Amino acid sequence: MIIQKSTNPRISSFDPENFSFGNTFIDHMIICEFEDGKWGDVKLVPYGQLPFSPAMMGVNYGQACFEGMKAYKDKDGKVFLFRPEKNFARINKSASRLAMPEVNEEMFLEGLKALVDMDRNWIPQGEGMSLYIRPLIFATEEALKARIANKYMFAIVATPAKSYYTEPVSVKISDFYSRAANGGVGSAKAAGNYAASFYPTKLAMEEGYDQIIWTDDSTHEYFEESGTMNVFVRINDTIYTPPTSEKILDGITRDSFIALANKRGIEMKIEPISVKTVVEAQKNGTLKEVWGVGTAVVTTVFQALGYKGEKLMLPKLSLEESFALTLQKDLVDIQTNKAEDPFGWRVLVEKNVLETV
Ligand SMILES: *Cc1c(COP(=O)(O)O)cnc(C)c1O
C-alpha cells in the first residue's frame, strides 16, 4: 500500500457536534486503478478531486457500483467495523453482475482498515454516531463505445454520520413503478438502481409520502423492498420478510435482524408477503408493524401505508412493544460494543495498522 499523508488536514476544524452528513469528508481516501487487466497499487492519499473526461464510460454506460458500511467508536475510543467481509463479498457480486473486475482483500479490507485507522479522529463518538464509509468501483476508460470498459477505479471515501433516529414515515405501496425486474440488476448495488428510483419516489413525495414500498414488477402484488432498505412486516407476533432474489438486495442489516430475531425466539418467516395479506391484516387489526432496515439509518418505522388512494394507519408502539425497535437496539448495542457479540460480527480496527503494511 502506498501512503501519502495529507499535509493540510482539516480535522482540527471538524466539529463533531455540528457537521453536515454526506458532504463532510475525512482527510484521506483509498484509490486503486485497474488497467491492462489488473489492479495497480493500493493508495491511501489525501481526499480530493480527480480529473475525468465527460467521455468516461462509467457516466455514459453506467458501470458503477458501491457499498455502504459504517465504523463505530465505543466509549473507550476503540473503533469497530461491522461484518466488513459481507460488504467485500457483495461489492464483488455487484461488480461481476456489471461485468466489472472484482476487487481483492488488500484493496477492500486492508484499505478500509488503514483508512479508518488513519482518520479515526474523524469518527464521532456517542449515541447514534458513526463514520459512514463508501467503497465504490466505476469505469474510467475514456471511450464512447457501448461495451465493457478496460479501465476502472476503486475508491473508498467516508463521511461522519449522526444519530440515525428518524421520525416514523408514510410509505406508498407501488402499484406501477418497479425498482427491479426478473433477470435485472436489483440484487447488485448498482448506482443506476438509485437513479431509476428517484423519479417514482419524487412522485410519491408529491402525494405526501416519504418513501415507496417496491412491489414485484409483473403483478405489483408482493412486497420487495422499501426505498433503499429491506422490508419487514409484523402480523400478530410473527415477523415476515421476503426471501432475497435477483430482485431483492441481500442486505446485511436484514440478515442481522433475522439472526437477532431467532436469538430472541421471535417467530420469523422468510416468505413472500402479499399486499393483500398486509391490507387485510391492517383492516382486522393484526398488522402491528412494518419497517425498513439498512446500514444508513438501521430502522425506519412506518406509520402509514398508502395503497390505491387509501392511507392505512399503523399502531404506534413503545420500545418495549416494538419488535423493530427492540431488534434495532440489539443490533446497535453489538455494533457499538455495548453488548456481547455472540455472532462474531464486530471487527476491531487496530491502531497503527499502517506501520505494519
Ligand atoms: C444497500 C441496500 C439495502 C440495505 O443493505 P445493508 O447491507 O443492510 O445496508 C437494501 N436494499 C437496497 C436496494 C440497497 O441498495
Verify whether ligand 1 is closer than 6 Å to residue 186 (CB atom).
Answer: no
Q: What is the pLDDT of residue 165?
A: 66
How many CB atoms are closer than 10 A to CB 330? 18
Verify whether ligand 1 is closer than 6 Å to residue 253 (CB atom).
Answer: yes
The reply to whether CATH 3.30.230.10 applies to domain 169-316 is no
Q: 2-162+346-356 and 169-316 share one CATH topology?
A: no
Q: Where are the domains of the chain?
A: 2-162+346-356, 169-316
Verify whether ligand 1 is closer than 6 Å to residue 247 (CB atom).
Answer: no
- Which of 187, 249, 328 for mutating ligand 1's site (highest number of atoms within 8 Å of CB)? 249
Whole-angstrom distance, CA of residue 120 vs CA of residue 115 = 8
Atom of ligand 1 nearest to the CA of 69: 9
User: Domain 2-162+346-356, what fold?
Assistant: D-amino Acid Aminotransferase; Chain A, domain 1 (3.30.470)
Atom of ligand 1 nearest to the CA of 86: 7
Walking along the chain (357 residues) 10 residues at a time, the average pLDDT comes out as 96 93 96 98 97 97 98 97 98 98 97 98 94 98 98 98 82 97 97 97 97 97 97 98 97 98 98 98 98 95 96 95 97 97 97 67
- In a 3-state reduction of DSSP, which class is residue 266? coil
Q: What is the pLDDT of residue 283?
A: 97
What does the block give as the cell for 271?
Answer: 416468505
Whole-angstrom distance, CA of residue 357 vs CA of residue 355 = 6
CA Rg, the chain, in Å?
A: 21
Atom of ligand 1 nearest to the CA of 254: 8
Q: What is the pLDDT of residue 352?
A: 84
0.75 cut: is pTM over it?
Answer: yes
Q: Which position has the grid cell 491492462?
A: 36
Verify whether ligand 1 is closer than 6 Å to residue 249 (CB atom).
Answer: yes
